[in-house]
Amino acid sequence: MEVGGGNSKGSGFGGLFGAGGAGGPGYSHADLAGVPLTGMSPLSPYLNVDPRYLIQDTDEFILPTGANKTRGRFELAFFTIGGCCMTGAAFGALNGLRLGLKETHSMAWSKPRNVQILNMVTRQGAVWANTLGSLALLYSAFGVIIEKTRGAEDDLNTVAAGTMTGMLYKCTGGVRGIARGGLAGLMLTGLYALYNNWEHMKGSVQRQSL
């Protein structure tokens, strides 16, 4: 009985790993030799697995009809606006703390001083959050409008949206303010576009030098 039990266990493990199961298909060295394993480590010929089923030649995710593989400006607008608001609030809080400590350095640590510092922190945080949030909202709106108008998404949309955002944000300062705002937006978005394409530009220069 013990011998029979050992044989049944051995046959069970053999069927599991494909070593000698009669029910499962076997793959010889010749069958596995012609299967391309690009980007994969060689599989053991003793495993009862067909490597042709492991080669992924299609997209990993199934996208809805007409959907893009990358998120558009409208989807990124929510992240951009929220991120700018939180960044502005954090920066404004730190700036308010610095200003509060500077203005109350002659006062002793007491409740009036703490209240004054807290008021400065909340005021500066709200101001900076409102400023960066407004800029992000204008930038995202211009980006979506330009993308839908041109029907393309590239760095030209980024630069144009940044320039128009700066011009509109400083429109209350007259022609000179509009020019300064547009130039500031153009410079910032131009540097951002240059940073995104730096690796591509460096690779192009290296290929031309060869």
Q: Each residue of 150-178: pLDDT tens digit? A: 888 888 899 999 999 999 999 988 999 99
Look at the chain and report how many structural domains it folds into: 2
In a shared domain, residues 121 and 172: no
Would 44 be classed as within a structural domain?
no
Final residue belonging to a domain, choices 97, 126, 151: 151
In a shared domain, residues 87 and 139: yes
In a shared domain, residues 108 and 130: yes
In a shared domain, residues 97 and 158: no
Would 171 be classed as within a structural domain?
yes
In a shared domain, residues 82 and 119: yes
- Amino acid 13 reads F
Q: Where are the alpha helices (DSSP H) in the chain?
A: 2-17, 29-33, 73-103, 111-150, 155-169, 174-196, 198-209
Would 11 be classed as within a structural domain?
no
- Amino acid 6 reads G
Residue span of the structural domain in which 189 resides = 152-197
Would 65 be classed as within a structural domain?
no
pLDDT of residue 133: 94
In a shared domain, residues 166 and 141: no
In a shared domain, residues 158 and 112: no
Final residue belonging to a domain, choices 151, 183, 205: 151
| Distance (Å, whole) CA 5 – CA 197 | 67
Angle at 58 between CA 56 and CA 63, to 5 degrees: 135
Tokens in use for 69?
């593989």
First to last CA, the chain: 76
| Distance (Å, whole) CA 46 – CA 69 | 39
In a shared domain, residues 83 and 126: yes
In a shared domain, residues 117 and 106: yes
Tokens in use for 162?
């940044």
Would 207 be classed as within a structural domain?
no
Residues 6 or more apart whose CB falls under 8 angstroms from that of 116 comprise: 100, 103, 104, 107
Final residue belonging to a domain, choices 114, 129, 151: 151
pLDDT of residue 106: 85
Residues 6 or more apart whose CB falls under 8 angstroms from that of 126 comprise: 89, 92
**CA proximity to 148, closest of 139, 135, 157:** 157
In a shared domain, residues 91 and 125: yes
Tokens in use for 150?
């041109």
Low-confidence ranges of the chain (pLDDT < 70): 1-71, 210
Map residue 105 onto helix, strand or coil: coil
Would 12 be classed as within a structural domain?
no
Tokens in use for 41?
């480590």
Would 19 be classed as within a structural domain?
no
In a shared domain, residues 89 and 156: no
